[in-house]
Chains A and B, each alone.
Chain A
Amino acid sequence: MTRAIGVDVDCPFTPAMLRKVTYAGSQSASFVQATRDLEVLAESKVSRERVQRWTKRVGEERVKEAKTLADAYQALPLPEQQQSPTTQVPQVACVMMDGGRIQVRDRGQAQREGSGYWKESLVGCCLSMVSQQHARDPSPTISKTFVDPQRMRDLSREIKGISTSAEEADVPSEEFPDDRQGRPEVLVRSVVATRAGQDALGSRLVAEAHARGFQAARRKAFVADGSATNWSVHKKYFSHYIPILDFTHAICYVYTAAMVGQLSKAAWDDYVRWAQWLWEGAVDKVVAALAVRAKELGRPPDGDETSPAAIVAKTLGYLQNGRSRMKYHEYRRLGLPITSSHIESTIKQINRRLKGTEKFWDQGAEPLLVLAADHLTETNRLVQFWKNRRKRLPSMRHYQTAG
């Protein structure tokens, strides 16, 4: 009996070469760039069409595999879902998620109005972490970075898209610590990404968390910004994880509300006070202070989103809705993360391949998203995929030969 060669019936590459082609196709900035990278780095000439076709083909297989794993997890009885299939259980299990945006164009469709072709993609990551638990908050004073005027101006512009005046002092006071004490350290990251909606992301993310033994971890956290999508996923798939609203987003809301419609010095002093309250988890104090400001400014007219009254009202709503996920002093005591910086940087890494004003995707976006996530994953997910792939190869050529 002969031995399998492990090559698809219509594949022009050896298995090892197909791995290189797929890597280049999903990691280079474009398929054209992938052919150049292969020529320079792997000294192999492969046409753009072949790189595109085979990267998508392998990506589609990965999409199918991810769905199968998610379905298999959902089919498990509840007690098994709550057990760890592995003996390696992380000290701290952290799940983060956020949305990205890519351009998707249906070739048959006319150009769209408004947001054009931009569509949401969803990305989540499972992070195993180590940290100490403490009897009380190990870092009760807000970190210097959040009371640095220049840094907060930049952060607010990046996250909220709002510029504020630059007249306040430019140097943060020395009384604030450089960094948070007892910050958890990330050990291993695995990434899940999809364009198929929040249920697809949630089911794949929870299957990934289960496979990594997260369900058995004693400390579990789910960190995300205030988007309703994120908290729907939390409610449906991760309700037993401690919900944490990303501190960076929350502080930007507070910063913007403090800085609009006030003289700089007074505004900055208000901000520093409110920021410290937020850091302490004393959200009620911030809400009370903002309620006074909202009363002074009056009710914003309908449709107004940019006036000081509208910004303060929006911040008030944001804090009131999210206050149960803002017990930051308690999260630090438990050694949990309070920002979603890891998912933010993961999305930036995925965007390098998928996002660009010149990049338009059709049905090919999903396979590429999944492959981009795979390549950012530090577990042996892809190694296992390639190992198992030869067992699933189709055995017949697609064409029909004459008898």
Chain B
Amino acid sequence: MATTDQINERIAAFARALAAEMGEVDDSDALSWLDAIETKAVEIGDAVSVELVRQKSTDRPAADEESSCPKCGQLSRYRGHRERELVSRRGPLTIREAEYFCPCCRKAFFPDDQGDRR
């Protein structure tokens, strides 16, 4: 896993490259030039945050073929992954969840939602 210093270096390099590519920022509708830059920077930061969460949620471990139903304890079948829209601090994002179906309870359940399993 990358250290905080390594991540900060990557961010600085990314920001330098982006600043060079962006050119002049249009400040005609902004409160000031600084306001226009800040707004653009926040938009980019938000997009990076959302993308990072999306990436990390898709590279989670693969689902098991079977999982125990939290209600009756019976082994239940994996039904595939569902996409779920959530509102985050940085705007809407999509994550993926493994869905299982219990034939006894006739209900879908999501092991990811079951408390902290760490």
Contacts and interface: CB of A to CB of B under 8 A. Distances in A.
Interface string A1-18: 111111111011110110
B108 A5 contact: no
Contacts of B63: 2
B86 A4 contact: no
Contacts of B114: 4, 393, 395
A44 interface: yes
A1 B116 contact: no
Contact of A391 (B57, B105, B109, B116): B116
B68 to A, nearest CB: 11
A397 B110 contact: yes
Most A Cβ at <10 Å: residue of B70, B85, B86: B86
B97 A3 contact: no
A171 interface: no
Nearest to A19: B89
Given A392-B115, A393-B113, A7 B61 contact: no
B87 interface: yes
B86 A395 contact: no
Interface string A30-48: 0000000000001110100
A396 interface: yes
A352 interface: no
A327 B41 CA distance: 64
A390 B60 CA distance: 19
Given A9-B110, A14-B88, A3 B60 contact: yes
B87 A14 contact: yes
B107 A397 contact: yes
Interface in B88-118: 88-89, 91, 93, 95, 97-98, 101, 103, 105-118
B109 A397 contact: yes
A79 interface: no
Interface string A130-166: 0000000000000000000000000000000000000
B16 interface: no
A116 interface: no
Contacts of A395: 70-71, 109-111, 113-115
B101 A401 contact: yes
Given A14-B86, A14-B89, A403-B103, A4 B115 contact: yes
A20 interface: yes
Contact of A13 (B61, B87, B117): B87
Contacts of B91: 44
8 contacts: A4-B115, A13-B86, A16-B89, A44-B89, A393-B114, A395-B111, A400-B107, A401-B101
